[in-house]
Amino acid sequence: MMFRTGLICACLVGLSACVATPSGPAGFVSGDRQLPQAQLDLRQNAAALDARFHEAGWVAEAHGAAVQRLTGMLMFGRGNSDRPTPVEVYYEAAGLNDAGPDMIIETARRDLAEASTLTYNLARDGETVAEAGGLTANSLSDDLGALEYALTDVRQALALFRTINDSGDGQLDAAIGSLELASERLGNAADGLMSRRRELRNATGS
């Protein structure tokens, strides 16, 4: 019993650190007009992507939901058997609960195209920031935080659409491939920002 109590306390200490961080890309949006416009655009567009992915049901859970669920399991033994699946969340958001297979595939294909465009545009924002002047290592850390949330959104959306595609005889292969390419470019943009931040830290000796 003492071991279990100690384990719960240790886990909650770790969870409290997570709660102290921004709960999504919107937490990194800054009103500091001294930041380069490229950084302001990146953070605003990352927040817009995040909001759209959740609104459209491409991402099933709100930020922090996994932490809350784990806390409930540790403290009260509550499971998650009643939690809707990502596909159920998407069908509800897209009005597809009573739709036939053709309508589901067509809607998913349209949504994939929109998701790809949003992801690709955010990747270009990241590439623009990497080439911008007036950057600091600290401000780049916030840019990276916003991109990491966006990357998580995109990966969850890919998992959702792959599940739908598995039951649709691969009709979404091309559309999913486009989102995969956009996701890869977004990941590369984040890597570029990490490299730029490393250069700045090395230059200041911090």
Give the model confidence (pLDDT) of 41-56 as tens digits. Answer: 999 999 999 999 999 9
Residues 53-78 have pLDDT tens digits of 999 999 998 765 444 444 444 555 55
Please state, for a pLDDT cut of 90, what percent of the chain lies above it: 68
Q: What gap in Å lies between CA 16 and CA 94, rounded to an integer?
A: 34
Q: At 2, is the pLDDT very low, low, confident or very high (cuts 50, 70, 90)?
A: very low
| Whole-prediction pTM | 0.82
Contact 146, 42 (CB under 8 A): yes
Give the lowest-confidence range in 19-23, 97-101, 140-144, 177-181.
Answer: 19-23
Q: What gap in Å lies between CA 159 and CA 136, rounded to an integer?
A: 35
Contact 44, 146 (CB under 8 A): no
User: Within 10 Å of residue 175's Cβ, how many Cβ atoms?
Assistant: 20
> Given this model, what pLDDT does residue 17 score?
43
Contact 164, 172 (CB under 8 A): yes
Q: Which residues contact 167 (CB under 8 A, 6 or more apart)?
A: none
- Mapping DSSP onto H, E and C, the string for 121-134 reads HHHHHHHHHHCCCC
Q: Which has the closest alpha carbon to 86: 51, 111, 59? A: 59
Q: What six digits make up the tokens of 23? A: 């709960």
How many residues would you count in the chain?
206
Tell me which residue has tokens 């840019």. 143
What Å distances lie between residue 109 and 50, 68, 140, 171, 173, CA to CA?
A: 19, 32, 34, 9, 10
Q: Which has the closest alpha carbon to 121: 48, 24, 72, 194? A: 48
Mean pLDDT, to the nearest integer, of 118-141?
96
Residues 74-127 have pLDDT tens digits of 555 555 567 899 999 999 999 999 999 999 999 999 999 999 999 999 999 999
